[in-house]
């Protein structure tokens, strides 16, 4: 059951172009533990060996196998009520994050979100960076974007976090298209 949720969302992220090859990661909370995708796994074709269970507050023998974004996932679970996290690298969202400090989604595509903060301006971005900053922002948002890197979305289910990621990317795609023809929004 858990594996099929990861596989479905992973395939959807890949087929919609929200991740590439070995990018992105997924996790769900299980009490004081989390299940997260393996470091370097291909989300579009996950198998049982690609899901790593480790602690939210402590390491175990499986921890070194977990995604390099594990510190961010742990911080989000410690600081929010999220039950699932999707980290993706949607191209249009990343493109806008290079020029905007805040993304205003198209209200028709995402009616419940009026702004999405872009975090990490003038900071060194690397896997696992900005964990506390991302988690703090997600106390008040369902999705945030890291400057030049990608998005982190939360939900009660992986599907919810995927849906908000997809909706933001669709909105960013429209914004990029409008900007390409000289229409400023």
**Which CATH number do you get for residue 140?**
3.40.225.10
In a domain, 170, yes or no: yes
Instruction: Return the pLDDT at 112.
Output: 72
Indicate whether 11 pLDDT > 80.
Answer: yes
Evaluate whether 55 touches 33 at the Cβ level (below 8 Å).
Answer: yes
In a domain, 128, yes or no: yes
Contacts of 10 (CB under 8 A, 6+ apart): 26, 37, 42, 43, 44, 45, 46
- CA torsion 90-92-96-97 (nearest 10°) is 10
pTM to 2 decimal places: 0.94
Cα separation of 24 and 18, whole Å? 8
Evaluate whether 89 touches 152 at the Cβ level (below 8 Å).
Answer: no
* Per-residue pLDDT band at 86 (split at 50, 70, 90): very high
Per-residue pLDDT tens digits for 141-172: 999 999 999 999 999 999 999 999 999 999 99
In a domain, 67, yes or no: yes
In a domain, 132, yes or no: yes
Per-residue pLDDT tens digits for 22-68: 899 999 999 999 999 999 999 999 999 999 999 999 999 999 999 99
* Per-residue pLDDT band at 182 (split at 50, 70, 90): confident
Run of H or E residues at 136: helix 131-137
State the residue range of the domain holding 63.
Answer: 2-180
Q: If DSSP codes are grouped into helix, strand and coil, which group holds residue 106?
A: coil
Structure token pair of residue 103? 């993304």
User: How many independent structural domains does the chain possess?
Assistant: 1
In a domain, 142, yes or no: yes
């Amino acid at each position: 059951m858990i594996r099929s949720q990861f596989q479905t969302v992973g395939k959807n992220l890949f087929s919609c172009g929200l991740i590439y090859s070995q990018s992105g990661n997924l996790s769900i909370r299980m009490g004081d533990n989390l299940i997260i995708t393996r470091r370097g796994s291909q989300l579009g074709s996950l198998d049982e060996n690609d899901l790593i269970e480790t602690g939210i507050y402590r390491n175990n023998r499986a921890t070194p196998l977990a995604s390099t974004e594990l510190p961010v996932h742990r911080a989000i679970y410690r600081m929010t009520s999220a039950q699932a996290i999707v980290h993706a690298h949607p191209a249009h969202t990343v493109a806008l994050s290079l020029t905007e400090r805040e993304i205003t989604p198209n209200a028709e595509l995402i009616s419940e979100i009026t702004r999405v903060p872009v975090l990490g301006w003038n900071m060194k971005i690397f896997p696992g960076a900005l964990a506390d900053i991302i988690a703090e922002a997600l106390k008040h948002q369902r999705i945030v974007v890291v400057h030049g890197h990608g998005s982190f979305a939360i939900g009660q289910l992986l599907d919810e976090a995927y849906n908000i990621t997809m909706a933001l990317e669709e909105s960013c795609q429209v914004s990029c298209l409008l900007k390409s023809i000289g229409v400023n929004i």
